[in-house]
Amino acid sequence: MTAPELNHTRDRIYVDGAWIPSTGTGTLPVVNPFTEQVIGTVPEGTAEDVDRAARAAARALPGWSATSLADRIKACSAVAEGLKARAQEIALMASREMGAPWQLAVMVQAGLPVIDFASMEDVAGQVEWERRSGNSVLVRQPVGVVGAITPWNYPLHQIAAKVAPALVAGCTVVLKPSELVPGVAYLLAEIIDAAGLPPGVFNLVTGTGPVVGEAIVAHPAVDMVSFTGSTRAGRRVAELAAAAPKRTSLELGGKSAGVLLDDLSADGFGNAVAGSLTGCLINSGQTCSATTRLLVPRARLAEAEELLTLFAQFAPVGDPLDPATQQGPLVSKVQQERVRSYIRQALDDGARLVAGGPEQPENTPTGFFVKPTVLVAEAGSRIEQEEVFGPVLTVVPYDGGDDGALAVANGTPYGLSGAVWAGDLDRATAFARRMRTGQVAVNGGVFNPTAPFGGFGQSGYGRELGPLGIEEFTAVTSLQF
């Protein structure tokens, strides 16, 4: 692989169509989680930076919202082409700054954002922009200036899933990306600038959540906040937004269940166990919708353990840029210690270790790695209830047939994703319909990047992706005749 030159050090923010210095003097380090070395810095933005960006977005709003839908779609298509042209840079940036394994970085970290922007042409046509209701015509209008606050685990996809539909809806945007993995946001800003969007339509301010994030949420020119991150941080966003009040869309944590029903054949059971482990370990376990709980009939627990002991050996950790690597490091030392502490606490609480553990992998003396870990724990235990956000699968035995499995599956405060496997498809489908969660993979169904994504309970509210993702950034005006 001939690696392109990457710039991990930036000294500007993007506001009102120009690269300008931050009003602050601080910088934030960018760390390679494999080498544990600082590889760059970005500006530690200020509330004053946010004010400049929000005011620019507010000035640009009337003109952008009056731009035809066709032209707004063309702008997103141009961005999609720019993302395609720089896909290798994006993948390498994600791999270096967050440790994404190379194959995943190419297919997902660089691939999904292209789909997010390119799909706007199709999904915008599925939105009912106007409809008659009695003596009224209901018209979808852009909600206004959108504050987008995004995480580090899918750093560009989570940005694109907000920015693309917001732009198509006629909104303008102020973005705060994760300060841990900011490089891909800069690449997007360069692509948007090259695409010729009017000044102020898209703005980028780097910084921390307590300063830049909170300033975005509280700014009077920001009409809506779209946030993806932890449930704890989401509560803070909702609290600040309520003071205005202003619209929020929150995509938060998860503790998703993969449920194996008792009619699976031996082969079907093995495939389901393998699929569950894969669904847990994707992106080194740093996925809010990961199936981190595997619910198995108690009578088949030993069978599941034997399979997982074998399968866990085929998830090698190592250099993210090595195409053979399946599991990269976690994003930071803080995250590594958090996940390890969950494993240790679970063992102290009586969980049984099947594979992995809290120790540093033998072949990687440096890097923020956590071994792919499988634990067996009972429903209601801390490890079964709380989001770990690492490569940790909790196997949970259940009793009482489908109703018993459903009680465990729906028994956490979360409801973002899930999966169910059964020998009979109708039975699996009926079970999936009873799960209180935003999406369910039935007998190995694959992720649909244009279907609505969002959750129940502490997993948040609102939906991203597809036509509902566009509608999230609109408000309805009723014209009465």
b or e along 185-206 (b: 16 or more beta carbons within 10 Å of the residue's beta carbon)? bbbbbbbbbebebeebbbbbbb
Contact 89, 2 (CB under 8 A): no
Instruction: Write out the two tokens for 31.
Output: 């760390």
Structure tokens at 128: 């009912």
CA torsion sign, 419 to 286 to 186 to 141? positive
Report the distance separating Cα 255 and Cα 191, nearest Å.
35
Report the greatest alpha carbon distance in the chain: 73
CA 222 centroid distance within chain: 22
What would the two tokens of residue 71 be? 């032209």
With tokens 């009695």, the residue in question is: 134
Cβ neighbours for 365, distance < 8 A, ≥ 6 positions apart: none
Indicate the pairing of strand 136-142 with strand 130-133.
antiparallel
Q: What is the DSSP letter of 43?
A: E
In order, the DSSP letters of 376-431 are E--TTSHHHHS---SSEEEEEEE-SHHHHHHHHHT-SS--S-EEEE-SSHHHHHHH
Task: Please calculate the CA angle 173-98-8 and round it to the nearest 5 degrees.
Answer: 70
Q: What whole-number distance in Å separates Cα of residue 186 and Cα of residue 193? A: 10
List residues with catalytic annotation. 251, 288
Lookup: tokens for 354: 């099947």
Q: Contact, 336 vs 370, CB < 8 A?
A: yes
Is the sign of the CA dihedral 45, 50, 52, 58 positive or negative? positive
| Six token digits for residue 458 | 């502490």
How far is 299 from 304, CA to CA, in rounded Å?
A: 10
First to last CA, the chain: 64
